[in-house]
Amino acid sequence: MQPNMLKPSRVKTLLLLLSLTFILYLIFHVSTIKAPSLSDSLAADIVSRSPISRCHVLFAIASSSKSWPRRLSYFRLWGLRSAIRVARVVKEAVDLTDESDGVRWFVFGDDDTVFFVDNLVKTLSKYDDNRWFYVGSNSEYYEQNVKYSFNMAFGGGGFAVSHSLARVLARVLDSCLIRYPHLFGSDARIFSCLAELGVGLTHEPGFHQLDMRGDLFGMLSAHPLSPLLSLHHLDAVEPIFPNMNRTQALGHLFKAVEVDPARILQQTVCYDRSRQLTVSVAWGYAIQVYEGNESLPDLLLLQRTFTPWKRGANVDSHFMFNMRDHPRDPCKRPIVFFLESVISDKSDVLSNYIKHFVGDCVRAHALENLELIRVLSQKVELDVEKVVMNWFDMLDYGLEMESPRRQCCDISPTFNESMTIQIRQCGLDELISMHF
Ligand SMILES: *[C@@H]1O[C@H](CO)[C@@H](O)[C@H](O)[C@H]1NC(C)=O
Ligand SMILES: *[C@@H]1O[C@H](CO)[C@@H](O)[C@H](O)[C@H]1NC(C)=O
Ligand SMILES: *[C@@H]1O[C@H](CO)[C@@H](O)[C@H](O)[C@H]1NC(C)=O
């Protein structure tokens, strides 16, 4: 949804988008569960509700011949790296449902949507695809939601429709679209048709339409606890890492995504009580070191490093989340360390972050020589399989994912040029604060 681009020619192009829809089958094999003691029919029923894998998800990417060559570099990052088979079709994506093809979810996106496929697959497996689900997220930009709907899944952020709903949607789409010829994007049309079918949006905060410009730092360094599912509009923002172009920077993020997708951007906060330091880690991206005592609720606020999608002097800049100021003076900001490299060995992960030089700022003595931060962590398992302990749980298979809890971390007791941080599960009643 790009409000500045509402020219008629643009609308036409968009209407032609589906003629260039790219259908991507994800080709990893179904991981079926072992249930030898169960009768065949029950086993079949359980398998049909087993967690989905990549091969059950079909991606339909709206593109135009004009934008595609430019966007191919983003697509390659999540598409080809995920071993996705690409096919071109000229039919509307929702019309392609066939019960025999094993597709359980249809995911729609734009050619500048970057998907985090593993996280998406795990997230969708929380929902029963035999029921009607429309899963996505609205815009971060308040005015866009006022204009379209707070309950619409914005197409750039991507959204998913369960196969059972998609089949019905395909049947009624033409008749319902007649009533919405004025609507700009296919996402608004689908939203309207789904509303007529009586289906509402299931909100998943990991989808990011990113109706914003400038520096995404504030957004990426305070991601919600749910897994990162998509990023959009990366052409409109600055490269997400310094001293890299956009493609390089995104590729750099994917080095971490490939090692531990579920942890990417997840925020962990730890305190150094003796030196009075607060450290906020956005895993796989950046670490901020604050001098003094910053409370966790403050660190969860997004630093306003970005501007609204709409440009101009009289533009409202209301976003859908709570924010805090990002000081203009770089010396008043925390020291930032950006991801340098990630190494993994089975479930152990070491990620390194190097200091981003912003000028000669006077810092606390303890931080004078600090150049590198090493972070030790364990791969995050978002697995729903853990809940399969007995028969009854098995019937709920795929409908549960452990509710996420932020992890805790510890800072090495001494450090000079490099600091080591260990991320771990918090104790049962452990609080994340600078208390003694
Ligand atoms: C970005 O940098 C890479 C590596 O230096 C280069 O191959 C690529 O052409 C650059 N892309 C753009 C759009 O400048
Ligand atoms: C840190 O700040 C919080 C509130 O902002 C306060 O309750 C707490 O006592 C402070 N802790 C220390 C060690 O200064
Ligand atoms: C800390 O690092 C600095 C700069 O590299 C070095 O000169 C100093 O000797 C180190 N201090 C200790 C205690 O190792």
CA dist list (Å): 296 to 45, 165, 171, 426: 44, 40, 49, 14
Q: Minimum-distance ligand to the CA of 415?
A: 3
Quick: pLDDT tens for 173-210: 778 878 877 776 778 888 998 999 999 999 999 999 99
Tell me: the pLDDT tens digits for 220-260?
Answer: 999 999 999 999 999 999 999 999 999 999 999 999 999 99
Question: pLDDT at position 144, please?
Answer: 92
**Atom 14 of ligand 3 has which residue's CA nearest to it?**
416
Whether residue 293 has its Cβ less than 6 Å from ligand 2: yes
Least Cα distance to 173 among 191, 151, 146 occurs for 191
Q: How far is the CA of 294 from the centre of ligand 2 (A)?
A: 8
CATH number, domain 47-203, options 1.20.210.10, 2.30.38.10, 3.40.930.10, 3.90.550.50: 3.90.550.50
First CA to last CA distance, the chain = 49
Phi and psi angles of residue 155, each rounded to the nearest 5 degrees, phi first:
-65, -30
Domain limits, the chain: 47-203, 261-424
337 CA from centroid of ligand 2 (Å):
25
What is the distance between the alpha carbons of residues 29 and 209, in angstroms, rounded to a whole number?
30
Give Cα separations from 116 to 77, 150, 206 (angstroms).
Answer: 10, 24, 10
Going from the Cα of 433 to the center of ligand 2, the distance in angstroms, rounded, reads 8
Ligand nearest to the CA of 244: 1
Ligand 2 atom index nearest CA of 295: 5
For 121, the token pair is 């697959």
Question: Are 109 and 58 contacting, i.e. CB atoms less than 8 angstroms apart?
Answer: no
Closest CA to 164 of 126, 133, 208: 133
306 within 8 A of 218, measured Cβ to Cβ: yes
Which residue, 378, 389, 384, is CA-closest to 403? 384
| 264 CA distance to ligand 2 middle (Å) | 29
pTM for the full model?
Answer: 0.84
Best residue among 269, 272, 273, 293 to mutate for probing ligand 2's pocket (most ligand atoms within 8 Å of CB) is 293
Q: Which ligand is nearest to the CA of 365?
A: 3
Q: Atom 9 of ligand 3 has which residue's CA nearest to it?
A: 416
Each residue's pLDDT, cut to its tens digit, for the chain (436 residues) gives 444 444 444 433 433 343 334 333 332 323 333 333 344 444 444 445 567 888 888 888 877 778 888 888 888 888 855 544 332 332 356 555 566 678 899 898 888 999 999 999 999 999 999 999 999 999 999 999 999 999 999 999 999 999 899 888 888 877 887 887 777 677 888 899 899 999 999 999 999 999 999 999 999 999 999 999 999 999 999 999 999 999 999 999 999 999 999 999 999 999 999 999 999 999 999 999 999 999 999 999 999 999 988 887 777 789 999 999 999 999 999 999 999 999 999 899 999 999 998 888 999 999 999 999 999 999 998 765 444 444 444 444 434 456 789 999 999 999 999 999 999 999 999 999 998 6
CA of 436 to the centre of ligand 2 (A): 10
**Residue of minimum CA distance from atom 7 in ligand 3:** 369
How far, in Å, from the CA of 413 to the mean position of ligand 3?
16
Tell me what pLDDT residue 118 has.
94
Ligand 3 atom nearest to 417, measured from its CA: 2
Ligand 3 atom closest to the CA of 416, numbered from 1: 1
- Cα-to-centroid distance, 417 and ligand 3 (Å): 7
Ligand 3: which residues within 6 Å by Cβ?
369, 416-417
**Atom 11 (ligand 3) nearest CA:** 416
Cα(434) to centroid of ligand 2, in Å?
Answer: 6
How far apart are the CA of 288 and the centre of ligand 1, in A? 28
248 in ligand 1 pocket by Cβ < 6 Å? Answer: yes
- Ligand with minimal distance to 69 CA: 1
CA angle 26, 31, 35 (to 5 degrees): 155
pLDDT attached to residue 96: 58
At residue 6, the pLDDT reads 40
Q: Output the pLDDT for position 397.
A: 42
- pLDDT of 279 reads 98
Residue 73 Cβ contacting ligand 1 at under 6 Å = no
Question: Taking each helix axis from N to C terminus, what angle separates 246-259 and 68-78, rounded to the nearest 10 degrees?
Answer: 20
